[in-house]
Amino acid sequence: MQLKWKESTPLTVGVEWEFQILDRNTLQPKDVFENIYDQLEPALVPFIHKEVYQSMLEIVTPPCENEKEAINLFEEIFENLKPLAEKENIHLIGLGTLFIKNINPTQINISPRYKLFAEEFQEILKDFYIYGIHIHIGIPSPDWAIRTFNNLVLYAPLLLALSANSIFYRGINTGIHSYRMVLFERLPRAELPRQFKNYEEFQEVFQNLLKTKVIENVKDIWWHIRPRPDFGTIEIRVFDSLWDLERLKLLIKLVRAIALYSEKYQDDILPPEILNQNWWWAKRYSLDADFIDKNGRKALKQVAFDLIYKLADLGILKKLNYSVGEFTKFLRKPSPAKELLFKSKAVGLEKVIKMGAVV
């Protein structure tokens, strides 16, 4: 199976956003996806997808020209879902893990794909309450795509740190700012991949996995950064689910800027051992993490500021009509994980969970 790269429009955006469906009174997972789906207005049906559990819902955009179009679509969808959420007495919660201790296990969706998952992963899938955001960025050629892939693998710790909020899991303060990643990485092929010399090297890895029947297609490679030749995109899968449209908009802008930068430039290629150390620090500490590059160890925030100013100096931000200030504003804030930890001490975990409601 030759992986021909599908030509796509540069820097288009597609977003897949996973939500918990929780009862408004108990904040327990509520297995009502099918009920919700059956009552959707026809205009909403293309955007609403099932996920592993009946107590999950995913909203998927079509390819959008930019972040503004994607965010406007989410605002419209949330507004249209409000009456149905009230009728079913549920909240859609944008947090990376299930914060409250659930009393009853939630049902796995009945589909051939998820049946196979349940058989393969056994007990893991019974304790897999994780929710993320995937962002696709259109890249028209495989060479540009691999440079983008390599740069996004390098800066994946920063992208995770800006979204990390899953410090609680089933009633426990785990101390890990993105515990979602700890849970997800129990699966095979769920990892931060190494960087590749070129597109041919990626194809070689794919063909080997395909030939040995480890995978059926590229969707079975669950890397945190994933080339999607079938779409002509790079898929960024690092983000914890969020409740904050402004932060999501910022993350889309950042990955679009890195993608445009990658048309001409590629930054450090690091050994997997260093990439994985940087990744661990981001999972554990989010924006308070450290980062190792070819010049040594430094604060992740410093790496972030250096990247933003480099993108500005090269005219990347100007081409996209972005400003330095909109990025540095978020870098000066606590990460979502620290924000939720502070608020949980002040108001309690249940109120923190309700803060995550988008509907």
pLDDT of residue 224: 99
Q: Is residue 84 part of a domain?
A: yes
For the chain, the domain total comes to 1
Q: Is residue 60 part of a domain?
A: yes
What is the rounded CA–CA span in Å between residue 342 and residue 354? 15
Q: Is residue 26 part of a domain?
A: yes
Look at residue 123 and tell me whether its pLDDT is greater than 80: no
Q: Is residue 7 part of a domain?
A: no
CATH number for the domain harbouring residue 252: 3.30.590.20
Q: Which letter, b or e, does each residue of 31-44 get, where b requires 16 or more Cβ atoms within 10 Å of its Cβ?
A: bbbeebeeeeeeeb
- Which domain, by its residues, includes 309? 13-355
Lowest mean pLDDT, pick from 101-105, 172-176, 247-251: 101-105
pLDDT of residue 104: 79
pLDDT of residue 127: 83
What SS3 state is found at 301?
helix
What is the rounded CA–CA span in Å between residue 357 and residue 359? 5
What SS3 state is found at 161?
helix
Look at residue 192 and tell me whether its pLDDT is greater than 80: yes
Q: Is residue 2 part of a domain?
A: no
DSSP for 72-84 reads HHHHHHHHHHHHH
pLDDT of residue 1: 56
Q: Is residue 148 part of a domain?
A: yes
E-state strands within the chain: 13-23, 48-49, 56-60, 90-93, 132-138, 168-169, 172-173, 225-228, 233-240, 290-293, 296-299
Which of 67, 92, 89 lies closest to 78 in space, CA to CA? 92
pLDDT of residue 105: 78
- Residues 217-232, mean pLDDT to the nearest whole number: 96
- Residues 301-328, mean pLDDT to the nearest whole number: 99
Look at residue 102 and tell me whether its pLDDT is greater than 90: no
Q: Is residue 6 part of a domain?
A: no
Q: Is residue 212 part of a domain?
A: yes
Look at residue 110 and tell me whether its pLDDT is greater than 70: no
What SS3 state is found at 213?
coil
Torsion angle, alpha carbons of 313, 316, 319, 322, to 10: -90
Greater confidence (147 vs 187) lies with 147
Q: Are 72 and 144 in contact (CB under 8 A)?
A: no
